[in-house]
Structure 1
């Protein structure tokens, strides 16, 4: 049962092939067997999950509709509000921070029949492209325990990849859904800015870049599952002022043209990564897409502005004593200090405002580019997942990681939807790509991702 997709589980529960209780028990048993090896799950919600499953089975027995996600076991990242446990963001001083209400999209998923069975690990405050913190410790990459699992939604990605849950909920400020999904060999959807409401219903003063560039989205073992989950969780609420409700079409019947970038901005690419992108391009061509190698606009500048804005806004918060009610991990502080060495901070009002104004110029260029090429296909990261500790080895390492992730952060900077899709494995290294669509074009990205998924067999670490 732990090999089934969310779509298959929901269908089986709805048909009465198996009960929600049986699904939850299988998920909990898998967590007990696997999590000690990978430390992806931080909190097991066994009692609440079993109660929810029993209630769902009772609704089915009474002839009621259990919802489109009936009995699907999910994990919820440690920075997303779920009243069943504390929202810690990986911070020891937040271990008792039980929220008063669920995030709006969590309530939507619960109403649709999904059942949270666990919380997913993350780096504290989600800052690193790794998953480690002082509260829960390190999540292990299930393919290669010498390399990082990616971050910041690393726990949820590993939980999905190893069959502990059918789907996970995470967020993406600089690739934090797509990168760990890529490392784990699963799929993930970075949603358009505002399509899914905030991870908390409390109104907090946050850096502007977080509000505009961070989004919430699903991780799963199939593209169909991403579509199913997104179809439930998207839409505005009455708290998040940037959230929007936009229709999510079923399928895509528009122009099928793809712009392929093998080495975005020409900053260098690993040969196996380049081969994976070209193999994906060939698969889309075979599926009827018109494919052309052509560079999207200003990836170098978009990535640079993302780094400048995120560093400038986070610097006072992370480096000023007393901002947080407790300490950050030494790794997070070291990473950020190393990261800003090579960054020209926007330390005047004119520079800061100018960066945001320039964003509209690049967004307009990408809008015009997407009118010609509805899909941009490229690498998730241009280099293999780094060895553990690489990101703490000095300023040059943090710059190298940012350069490798330049197409990831370009999508964040512009607020665009993107899907990470696995395309195979070489040795113990998953391969994969991402497809980026226009703003609110999740259905376009998902359509291309489905065709890619059809061309490559699924992979599992064990």
Structure 2
């Protein structure tokens, strides 16, 4: 064991300690519940906390270990579940008040697999309603605060889980990523996230019974947020693979290590549109770390980023406009999400005909093929998560032009979604204001282990930043 508090340990450290009986699953859960009770009132990251149920599951793990049973590789590890991922004893609200009683009949596959591995759900992570904003706020649960700076957004849409991981309330959060919703809040919180390749982890609902838009099928994935790259890998190893329900999910080998070509394409300023100095410095640090670890590092930009990012925006906005307009919104969005949706739609040229919509998807194959060829030479693309530091609260609602500025800032972020590629976000130290910096490491399609390998090398050189004590007035942390 270690002299650190149990809530400061990684997933692997917790599981090893519980399985070796150096501690108990109950002690682990109690420590995390105490941490939640102390910190969550200040940051509002978790919407629901499963005090009694988590303790009961921990007692069951301990009883099974006492009986000599194998309880799984993640024995006693707490995890949180984003509000749009199915968990049978808690409503999957997606941040909507009208879904407050929508308790699913089955667990999502990723939740079920973690439970079978001995892990224990401890709470629900907050999100913007419908996952619509790069912020975390809704009318049902309110705003999640960034623990590093309460005036800056925590990112979205998996902001609650990222803040919970960063502040020691859980070592693992489950989220999803349609336009950066895992990597951006991880960047804001100073933690790690894995956006897997499309199809590697099954859908967030237990059964698909309603139509699913093409962009959700191709752009959205589910994945883990954790404080270490090893923990991302451990969680992915448990969760990935087809489940006989999600028709897009597939089972592929997940190697434990990477022994292929070690070449990195560094994109310091995608498209030359500008980045904050702190962002440029973070990419420099990560590039130096990879070079020191034996990677060949070249400054070269992958092809067609602007077209990929533009088509991501046009396709996603076209589908949202089709869902919500014309006429009254069929689902009541919060004021913030309504404002963002309308401002973004005003700034985006929608694909107004079937020919234009089909043509956009046809171009995706051309762009993806160009990236496939590029990554045969450069398996890793290193670049910013965002071109700016996290903006202050309210920036995304400050007018239509702000939605375009944010999209420009996130141009490399959404390119990854458009192409369905794996990407690992890792922290790269603090800037001069004590705010976390970070980068993303984009791997080849279905080669998630390559991104993880590069992430480990950056992490080994630059270290982690969390758990952090929340810098918020009134925090008991």
**What's the TM-score bracket when you normalise by the shorter of the two chains?**
over 0.9
Structure-2 residue corresponding to 1:103: 108
1:64 equivalent in alignment to 2:74: no
Task: Say which SS state the counterpart of residue 450 (structure 1) adopts.
Answer: helix
Q: How many angstroms apart in 2 are the aligned matches of 1:456 and 1:412?
A: 26
1:178 equivalent in alignment to 2:191: no
Structure-1 residue corresponding to 2:464: 458
- Please point out which of 237, 250, 256 is paired with 1:244: 250
1:163 equivalent in alignment to 2:168: yes
Tell me by how many angstroms 1:322 deviates.
6.0
Structure-1 residue corresponding to 2:332: 327
Q: How many angstroms apart in 2 are the aligned matches of 1:95 and 1:29?
A: 26
1:282 equivalent in alignment to 2:288: yes
Tell me if structure 2 keeps the 8 A contact 1:382–1:404: yes
- Please point out which of 228, 231, 240 is paired with 1:234: 240
Structure-1 residue corresponding to 2:119: 114
Q: How many angstroms apart in 2 are the aligned matches of 1:239 and 1:319?
A: 31
Farther off after superposition, 392-401 or 452-461? 452-461
Q: How many angstroms apart in 2 are the aligned matches of 1:386 and 1:4?
A: 30
Q: Deviations over 1:185-214 (max 9, x none)?
A: 000000100000000023221221011100
Residues 67-106 of structure 1: pairs in structure 2 closer than 5 A: 67-106=72-111
Tell me by how many angstroms 1:321 deviates.
4.6
Normalising to structure 2: TM-score of the pair? Answer: 0.96
Residues 130-169 of structure 1: pairs in structure 2 closer than 5 A: 130-169=135-174
Q: How many angstroms apart in 1 are the aligned matches of 2:74 and 2:118?
A: 5
Tell me by how many angstroms 1:139 deviates.
0.1
Tell me by how many angstroms 1:341 deviates.
1.5
Tell me if structure 2 keeps the 8 A contact 1:318–1:333: no
1:342 equivalent in alignment to 2:347: yes
Task: Say which SS state the counterpart of residue 134 (structure 1) adopts.
Answer: coil
Unaligned runs of 5+ in 2: 1-5, 470-477
Unaligned runs of 5+ in 1: none
- Please point out which of 432, 444, 454 is paired with 2:450: 444
Task: Say which SS state the counterpart of residue 2 (structure 1) adopts.
Answer: helix
Q: Deviations over 1:387-433 (max 9, x none)?
A: 10000011110000000011110000000000000010112310110
Task: Say which SS state the counterpart of residue 93 (structure 2) adopts.
Answer: coil
Q: How many angstroms apart in 1 are the aligned matches of 2:326 and 2:116?
A: 41
Q: CA RMSD in A?
A: 0.9
- Please point out which of 200, 213, 222 is paired with 2:205: 200
Tell me by how many angstroms 1:145 deviates.
0.5
Tell me if structure 2 keeps the 8 A contact 1:159–1:165: yes
Task: Say which SS state the counterpart of residue 383 (structure 2) adopts.
Answer: strand
Q: How many angstroms apart in 2 are the aligned matches of 1:279 and 1:423?
A: 7
Tell me if structure 2 keeps the 8 A contact 1:265–1:298: no
Q: How many angstroms apart in 2 are the aligned matches of 1:333 and 1:384?
A: 24
1:419 equivalent in alignment to 2:424: yes
Q: How many angstroms apart in 1 are the aligned matches of 2:303 and 2:204?
A: 31
Structure 1 residues 245 and 60, CA, compared in 2 at 3 Å: closer, same or farther?
A: same
Q: How many angstroms apart in 1 are the aligned matches of 2:92 and 2:328?
A: 21
Structure-2 residue corresponding to 1:382: 387
Q: Deviations over 1:14-58 (max 9, x none)?
A: 100100001000111000000011000000011111111111111
Q: How many angstroms apart in 2 are the aligned matches of 1:307 and 1:238?
A: 31
- Please point out which of 33, 39, 46 is paired with 2:44: 39
Structure-1 residue corresponding to 2:411: 406
Q: How many angstroms apart in 1 are the aligned matches of 2:51 and 2:323?
A: 36
Normalising to structure 1: TM-score of the pair? Answer: 0.99
Task: Say which SS state the counterpart of residue 72 (structure 2) adopts.
Answer: coil
Give every structure 1 segment of 4 or more consecutive aligned residues whose post-TM-superposition deviation is greater than 2 Å.
318-324
Tell me if structure 2 keeps the 8 A contact 1:185–1:422: yes
1:12 equivalent in alignment to 2:48: no
Tell me if structure 2 keeps the 8 A contact 1:45–1:84: no
Tell me by how many angstroms 1:457 deviates.
2.4
Residues 285-296 of structure 1: pairs in structure 2 closer than 5 A: 285-296=291-302
Tell me by how many angstroms 1:338 deviates.
0.4
Structure-1 residue corresponding to 2:472: none
Q: How many angstroms apart in 1 are the aligned matches of 2:430 and 2:178?
A: 26
- Please point out which of 355, 358, 361 is paired with 1:356: 361
Structure-2 residue corresponding to 1:28: 33
- Report how many residues are paired: 461
Tell me if structure 2 keeps the 8 A contact 1:207–1:314: no
Q: How many angstroms apart in 1 are the aligned matches of 2:372 and 2:309?
A: 17
Q: Deviations over 1:356-379 (max 9, x none)?
A: 000000000000011000100000
